[in-house]
C-alpha cells in the first residue's frame, strides 16, 4: 500500500534536493519516492497536507525519562537564587526506587506522548535514577519496550548509601549493575563532571560497558571542565553531551573526531546557566546535535521546538542549523542513518508544521505548531 502526501507548502529533506512544490510517497514505512508533485507516480492513497510544512521528525538523542516524582520546589528555589548541583538528582532517586514498574511506565508513556505531539519521532532515554541493580535494570527493561535507544546511566551520581565510597560504587556499576542492565541497553553513559564521576572513574565504567557490548556516550563539561571531552574522543563516544565549558583544544579534538557535540539549551535555561558556545563549535566543523535533555531536575521539557528557539535566540545558531541539529544531528549522535532526513529508503518519520516554513519553530516560541507526527508512515494521534 502506497500513500502520496501532497499539497505541502515547504519541505526540509536534509539532503541536497530542493523542491518548489514537494510531494512524497510512503510505502511499507519508508520513503518510496520524493520530488515535484507534478511528477509524482500513482499511489494507492492520498493525504492532503493542506499547505503545511514537512520536516524530518525530530531525533531527541538525550533524555532521562525513567523516573518518578517531581522537583518543582527545587526549580522554584533555583529561580530565586539557589545554585544547581548534581546532588539534586538524589531526590528523584528516592521516588524512583519506590515507584512500581507500572508507575514508571505510565510516567514514561506520558512523556513519550508529549514528545510525539511535539514532533519527536525517535527518542533516547537513559536510566540513572535507580542507582541500584534492581531499579536500573527494571528502568531499562521498561524503556526498551518503547525505544531501541536505551542508555545505561548507573553512573549518574554516587547514591547516598555509597557516600565517601565512590570507588566501591564504581565497582558495583561496572560489575553487577552492568550485567543486569546490559541486556536492555544499547548505550552506556557516565556523568563525568564536578559532583559526579571523575575522568578515571568514567573511563573505567565506559570501558567495562564497551566490553559488555554497549556503545559509549558521555555527559561532559556541563558544570565544569574536568577533561571529559578528551575522554569522549579517546573512547570514540558517539556523543559528548552538554559541552558548556570547553577549551580550544576540546573544540579541536571534537572537530577531528566522530564524536557529536550534543547541546542541551533546556538545561541552561532551567538552571539559569551560561549557554554553550554553539557558534564556535559549528564554525570549527564540529557536528552539533540539539536535544531536550528532558529530566525532572534541570530541563523538564519535551519540546524540541522550544530547544530550537533557545538555540536560535541564545546561542546564535541559525534556524536552518538548529533544525538540522535537532534532526540529522540527533541521528548522527545516535549513529543512525535511517532517520533524520527525508530521502528514498529512509524511515518515513516526519512532522507536519502548521506554518509556511520551519523558521516559525523559532519565530513563534512557546506555540506548538506541530499538527501531525508520522512514524514509519503512520500518523500518531494526539
Ligand atoms: O543532563 N547532568 C546530568 N544529568 C541531568 C540532570 C539530572 C537531574 O538534575 O535530575 C542533565 O542535565
Ligand atoms: Fe542529561
How far is Cα 181 from Cα 110, in angstroms, rounded to an integer? 23
- Report the pLDDT value the prediction gives residue 382, as an integer from 0 to 100: 59
How far is Cα 25 from Cα 41, in angstroms, rounded to an integer? 9
- Report the pLDDT value the prediction gives residue 86, as an integer from 0 to 100: 72
Whether the CB of 278 sits within 6 Å of ligand 1? no
Q: Strand, coil or helix: what is 282?
A: helix
Q: What is the largest CA-CA distance in the chain?
A: 68
Dist. CA 68 → ligand 1 center (Å):
14
How far is Cα 62 from Cα 65, in angstroms, rounded to an integer? 10
Whether the CB of 377 sits within 6 Å of ligand 1? no
Whether the CB of 240 sits within 6 Å of ligand 1? no
Question: 369 with 360: CB under 8 angstroms?
Answer: yes
> Quick count: other Cβ atoms within 10 Å of Cβ 36?
11
Whether the CB of 78 sits within 6 Å of ligand 1? no
Dist. CA 128 → ligand 1 center (Å):
9
Question: 340 with 331: CB under 8 angstroms?
Answer: yes
Whether the CB of 126 sits within 6 Å of ligand 1? no
Pocket residue to mutate for ligand 1, from 295, 296, 299, most atoms within 8 A of Cβ? 295
Question: Whole-prediction pTM value?
Answer: 0.98
Of all protein residues, the one whose alpha carbon is nearest to atom 1 of ligand 1 is 293
Ligand closest to the CA atom of residue 125 = 2
Ligand closest to the CA atom of residue 273 = 1
- The pairing of strands 239-242 and 149-155 is unpaired
Of all protein residues, the one whose alpha carbon is nearest to atom 3 of ligand 1 is 191
Ligand closest to the CA atom of residue 269 = 1
Q: Which atom of ligand 1 is nearest to the CA of 62?
A: 1
Residue 5: name the closest of 14, 35, 355 by CA: 35
Pocket residue to mutate for ligand 1, from 61, 69, 75, 89, most atoms within 8 A of Cβ? 89
Whether the CB of 22 sits within 6 Å of ligand 1? no
Dist. CA 322 → ligand 1 center (Å):
22
Whether the CB of 296 sits within 6 Å of ligand 1? yes
Cell 565517601, residue?
164
How far is Cα 257 from Cα 108, in angstroms, rounded to an integer? 33
- Report the pLDDT value the prediction gives residue 90, as an integer from 0 to 100: 85
Per-residue pLDDT of the chain (382 residues; tens, 9 = 90+): 999 999 999 999 999 999 999 999 999 999 999 999 999 999 999 999 999 999 999 999 999 999 999 999 999 999 999 988 777 888 899 999 999 999 999 999 999 999 999 999 999 999 999 999 999 999 999 999 999 999 999 999 999 999 999 999 999 999 999 999 999 999 999 999 999 999 999 999 999 999 999 999 999 999 999 999 999 999 999 999 999 999 999 999 999 999 999 999 999 999 999 999 999 999 999 999 999 999 999 999 999 999 999 999 999 999 999 999 999 999 999 999 999 999 999 999 999 999 999 999 999 999 999 999 999 999 997 5
Domains and their CATH numbers in the chain: 2-55+341-381 (2.30.40.10), 58-333 (3.20.20.140)
- Report the pLDDT value the prediction gives residue 85, as an integer from 0 to 100: 79
Burial group, residue 296, by CB count within 10 angstroms (0-12, 13-18, 19+): buried
Q: Which atom of ligand 1 is nearest to the CA of 89?
A: 10
Whether the CB of 265 sits within 6 Å of ligand 1? no
How far is Cα 261 from Cα 282, in angstroms, rounded to an integer? 10
Q: Which atom of ligand 1 is nearest to the CA of 129?
A: 10
Whether the CB of 222 sits within 6 Å of ligand 1? yes
Amino acid at each position: 500500500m502506497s500513500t502520496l502526501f501532497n499539497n505541502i507548502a515547504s519541505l526540509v529533506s536534509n539532503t541536497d534536493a530542493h523542491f518548489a512544490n514537494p510531494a512524497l510517497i510512503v510505502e511499507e514505512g519508508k520513503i518510496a519516492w520524493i520530488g515535484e508533485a507534478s511528477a509524482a507516480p500513482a499511489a494507492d492513497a492520498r493525504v492532503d497536507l493542506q499547505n503545511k510544512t514537512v520536516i524530518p521528525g525530530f531525533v531527541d538523542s538525550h533524555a532521562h525519562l525513567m523516573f518518578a516524582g517531581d522537583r518543582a520546589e527545587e526549580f522554584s528555589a533555583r529561580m530565586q537564587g539557589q545554585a544547581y548541583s548534581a546532588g539534586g538528582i538524589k531526590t528523584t532517586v528516592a521516588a524512583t526506587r519506590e515507584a512500581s514498574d507500572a508507575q514508571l511506565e505510565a510516567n514514561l508513556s506520558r512523556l513519550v506522548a508529549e514528545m510525539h505531539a511535539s514532533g519527536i519521532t525517535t527518542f533516547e532515554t537513559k536510566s540513572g535514577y535507580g542507582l541500584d541493580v534492581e531499579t536500573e535494570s527494571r528502568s531499562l527493561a521498561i524503556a526498551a519496550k518503547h525505544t531501541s535507544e536505551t542508555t545505561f546511566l548507573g553512573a549518574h551520581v554516587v547514591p547516598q548509601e555509597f557516600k565517601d565510597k565512590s570507588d566501591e560504587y564504581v565497582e558495583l556499576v561496572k560489575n553487577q549493575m552492568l550485567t543486569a542492565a546490559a541486556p536492555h541497553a544499547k548505550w552506556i553513559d557516565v556523568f563525568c563532571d564536578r559532583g559526579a564521576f571523575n575522568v578515571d572513574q568514567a573511563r573505567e565504567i565506559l570501558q567495562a560497558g564497551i566490553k559488555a557490548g554497549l556503545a559509549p556516550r558521555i555527559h561532559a563539561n556541563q558544570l565544569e571542565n574536568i577533561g571529559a571531552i578528551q575522554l569522549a574522543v579517546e573512547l570514540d563516544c558517539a556523543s559528548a553531551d552538554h559541552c558548556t565549558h570547553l577549551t580550544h583544544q576540546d573544540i579541536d579534538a571534537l572537530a577531528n573526531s566522530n564524536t557529536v557535540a550534543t547541546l542541551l539549551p533546556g538545561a541552561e535555561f532551567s538552571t539559569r546557566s551560561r549557554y554553550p558556545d554553539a557558534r564556535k563549535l559549528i564554525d570549527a566543523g564540529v557536528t552539533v546535535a540539539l536535544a531536550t535533555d528532558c529530566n525532572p531536575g534541570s530541563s523538564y521539557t519535551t519540546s524540541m521546538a522550544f530547544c530550537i528557539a533557545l538555540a536560535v535566540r541564545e546561542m546564535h545558531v541559525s534556524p536552518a542549523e538548529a533544525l538540522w541539529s535537532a534532526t540529522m544531528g540527533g541521528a548522527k549522535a545516535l549513529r543512525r542513518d535511517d532517520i533524520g532526513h527525508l530521502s528514498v529508503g529512509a524511515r518515513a518519520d516526519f512532522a507536519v508544521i502548521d506554518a509556511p516554513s520551519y523558521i516559525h519553530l523559532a519565530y513563534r516560541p512557546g506555540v506548538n505548531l506541530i499538527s501531525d507526527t508520522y512514524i514509519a508512515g503512520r500518523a500518531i494521534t494526539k
